[in-house]
Amino acid sequence: MRKIVYILAFFSLISCQKTVVTGFQDKPVVESYLYADESPTIKISKLIPFSADMTFSDMDVNKLSVSITELTSGKKYAMASSGDGIYENKDLIVAAGKSYQLSFPYNGQEVSATTVAPEKPKNLTLSATDIAISPKGTTGTGGITGIPTMPNPIDIEWTNDDQSYYLVYVKNVESVKIPIDSRDNKGVDFFRNQPTNLNHYQLNPQSFKFYGQHRVILYKIRPEYVLYFQQNPTASSLSITEIKANIENGFGIFTAINSVSAYLYVGKP
């Protein structure tokens, strides 16, 4: 469950608010990330038109006939509504290497999308498991310190023999956050890179805002997420751009993800 919370912080395409678009069409917005070894959750919402003259269909996002089919076996799983446009089925466990198809009727059309659950990333390594960063903004005999002396970047590497896409996400996991800059108590406790099809990445020490243990997660992602990211790199649910990564007769994304993680400790010199 913690893994889902981490990735949704950056992969959230559509928030609980409805998505605003121009050129209104009454089509659903889908948000679904299939995590390997977990049961899937699907979020379906409606679009909001700019013009008050536009009308919605009578489709209720909580009363749709939503299903996911595991294409290798052909087994179809009916997804049950739990309210707020969310659908689940605990009997379906996503397996790496298998293909999945989402489908449901909406406003006279069949909405569908297909994705493949990636294999787990291989051979994740960090050049160091701890770094020391001097406090910033502390008061001493010389007054307020300036920018602290930074250690060398942390090199992250993994195996990528087929130019698959990956994303690195770093999250401070301490329950009590101790800021590196004592004047900034509202710093963001996570950061990530843009999707890459390389096999390495550098963690810039200046990206860390808090001391303590950090979880470094390497996500293996699908091309449809990369397409989404290119359309909307800020991942803003209020974008007027119609996001259509891989949903047929709808908007949003239906994708699968796999991950591995390591830990990095940020301390003081």
Q: Taking the domain 2-119+221-258, which CATH number applies?
A: 2.60.40.10
Q: Is the pLDDT of residue 122 over 60?
A: yes
pLDDT of residue 48: 67
d(CA 32, CA 269): 43
Q: Taking the domain 122-220+261-267, which CATH number applies?
A: 2.60.40
Q: Are 208 and 226 in contact (CB under 8 A)?
A: no
Q: What are phi and psi of 106, to 5 degrees?
A: -155, 120
For CA atoms 124, 128, 129, 135, the dihedral sign is negative
d(CA 42, CA 32): 5
Q: Tens of pLDDT along 161-191? A: 999 999 999 999 999 999 999 887 777 999 9
| Domain range list for the chain | 2-119+221-258, 122-220+261-267
Q: Comparing 44-48, 58-62, 245-249, which segment has the lowest mean pLDDT?
A: 44-48
What's the predicted TM-score (pTM) here?
0.83
d(CA 29, CA 16): 11
Mean pLDDT of the chain: 85
pLDDT of residue 46: 86
Average pLDDT for residues 141-168, to the nearest whole number?
Answer: 81
Residues 6+ apart with CB under 8 A from 114: 71, 99, 100, 101, 102, 246, 254
Q: Comparing 84-98, 116-130, 170-184, 209-223, which segment has the lowest mean pLDDT?
A: 170-184
Which residue would you say has higher pLDDT here, 193 or 242? 193
Q: What are phi and psi of 203, to 5 degrees?
A: -90, 115
Residues 6+ apart with CB under 8 A from 107: 26, 27, 57, 59
Q: Are 226 and 165 in contact (CB under 8 A)?
A: yes
For residue 67, give the nearest of 47, 49, 36, 88 by alpha carbon.
88
Average pLDDT for residues 239-246, to the nearest whole number?
Answer: 63
Structure tokens given for 53: 């003259």
For residue 92, give the nearest of 43, 44, 42, 38 by alpha carbon.
38
